[in-house]
Structure 1
C-alpha cells in the first residue's frame, strides 16, 4: 500500500493548517491595486493530486465520492479545469492560460478512479490524468485493468508514467554506483509499455512518494521529461519542470474550506535556491536556505507583485525564522529532519490580488540507516 507515514502526515497537516490560518488572518492587510494586472494569473495554474476515491481505502490517501463531487462542483463554478498537457505546454512555451485554471491528477491507477471518480468527472466534462505503474495494472483487484485503461483513454483520459512498479526511486542512491542507470531503465520500460498499451508517450513522470534528488531531476531534464512531485504549490513560468508541485487534495487535505485558499495560490517566482539537492545525507538540514525572487526571461513582472516583507515560512506546523531583503527570502531550520519526507512551505501575499498568496514548497528527503525510504 502506498501511503505516507503517520509522522509526516501529522507534520504536513499541522503545517498546512498553520499556513492557512495565518493567510486568512492577514488577508485584510493586503491592499489591492485599483486595476490589478491579471497577466500573472494567466500564466499560473494549480495541479491537484488524488489517489483513492472511496470510503473503503486507507484514509490518508482517500477521499469519499461525496466529498470528491463537492470539490468538482466547486471547481465548475469558480475555476476552469484544463488538461495537464495544456498546462505543461503553456508553462514551458510561454502561452497564457485561463485565469483560475486547475489540473486534476491521480496517482497509482486504482480501479475506484474508474468506478467512483470517472462518472463525476464525466458529468462536469473535466479532463484528468492518471499516473500509473504498468506492472501493477491488472495485477490485483484494486487496480485498473489494461482493458479499462484502454476504454478510459478512448474517452479522453490521459495516462502517464509513475514507474513500472511504484519503487522508492532514491533507495540506495548514496551507495549504489549503478543506481541512476537502474531507476532510469525502470522509467524507460514503463514509458515504452505506456506507448505500447495506450499509444501515447508524453514523457511525464510522477515520482512515487514524491521523492527525487538532484541527479534524478537532472536526468529527467536531460531526457526531456517533465517531473511531478508531491510537495505543495502552484505552477508558473519559473517552476522547475523536473519537479512540478501538486497540492494533495485527499485524506486530511480534502477539506474544501482549506482547499479553496490553495486553489487561489500563485507560483512563487523563485529564480534560484541554495538547496541544490533535496535528498540529504543526514538528519541535519542546511542551517539556512535562501530563495532569490525574480522574473528571469519570462517577459512578465511577477516579482514586483510579491509582498516579500510579509513572507512566512513553516516547518512541521510551526512558523520558522525568516528574513527578507529586496529580492531574497531566507529561512532557518533549527531542528533535525525526520526519516522520510518533510518540507518547508513559504507564502507571501500578492500586492495586486487581494486574498491570493505566492506559495513555494521546499521538500527534503532523508533515508534510514539502511539507505532506504519508508512508505
Structure 2
C-alpha cells in the first residue's frame, strides 16, 4: 500500500481528500497535519470520520517523513518550501493550492502578492489537468492541481482551441460556484444570512483564477488567449457551472461540433458530453469526479455557448488530485473515483 498524507487536513479540500482516500483500495492514509488542530483526532474536527479513522493531526514534518505521496491543501504561499523538502526526499507532492499553477513569477506577484520562494521548483512542476497533460503527469513528482473554476472552463474550451475553431479574444466565462470554494475560514460574504436567498458576482474582472485560465487556454491554442471571467456565489454548498461564450472563426454546424467533442473526449473517463438539446446541470455531477458539458448555438448561429459543470470539491479539487496521483503511480486513472452523482 502506498502511504499518503495530507498537510492542511482540516480545511474543506483536506477533509474531502481524506474522505476519498480512505476508500481508495491501493493507498493507506498514514499521516495528517493541521496547524489549527495539531494534536487532535480528525474525528474531533469532522464527526463524519468517527470510527472511520483514529488519525491525529501532527506536524508537517511528520507527514513528509511518513508518506510517499503528500497532498498540500494550504493557502497560497505556504506549499513551496514543503514541496522542496518532499522532492529532496524523493516523495511525490501534489499541491492543491495556487503556488505552482502559474509559470510566470510576475503574474504570481501581481495576482497573489508574493514572489516564488523556490523558483527552481517551478521548472519541474506540471499543471495537473489530466485531460491536457496526462503524459507529462506520468513522469512528474510535483503537480500543480488546477483551480476549480479553471477546470470547468479549460475542459469546456479545449476541443475548440486545439482545433483552432474559435477566435482567441472576446471569450466570456460566466461561472457560478457553491460556497465551499471559499474555504472553511470565516468570511462575511459566505456567512449564511449574507449568502442565503441571494445571488451575486464577486471580484468582478479581478479574480485570481484569471491568469491561470488564460495561461492554460493559451497553451491549448498555441497562441495568446484573452478572456473576461466573472465568478458568482450560489447559495449552495458545492458545485460549479460555467457558461462560456465564444465566437467561431467560420460558420459552424453544431452537430459537427458535438461529434468533435465526443471524439476528443472518448478516452477521457471523467468528461461527459451531453446529447444536443440537453443542458448540463450541477445536479449531474454533485459528489462525483465527472465534468458534464453541453453545447449550444445562439439564435443567430454566430456564437458557440458551452456549459460546463463539475463538483468543485471533487473534480475541482480533491478528486482531480487523486486522479493525478493515480496517473503518477501507474494505477488506473479512475481508481477510488468511481463515484456516481445522486439521482436527486
TM-score, length-scaled by structure 1: 0.29
Higher relative contact order (CA 8 A, sep 6+): 1
TM-score, length-scaled by structure 2: 0.30
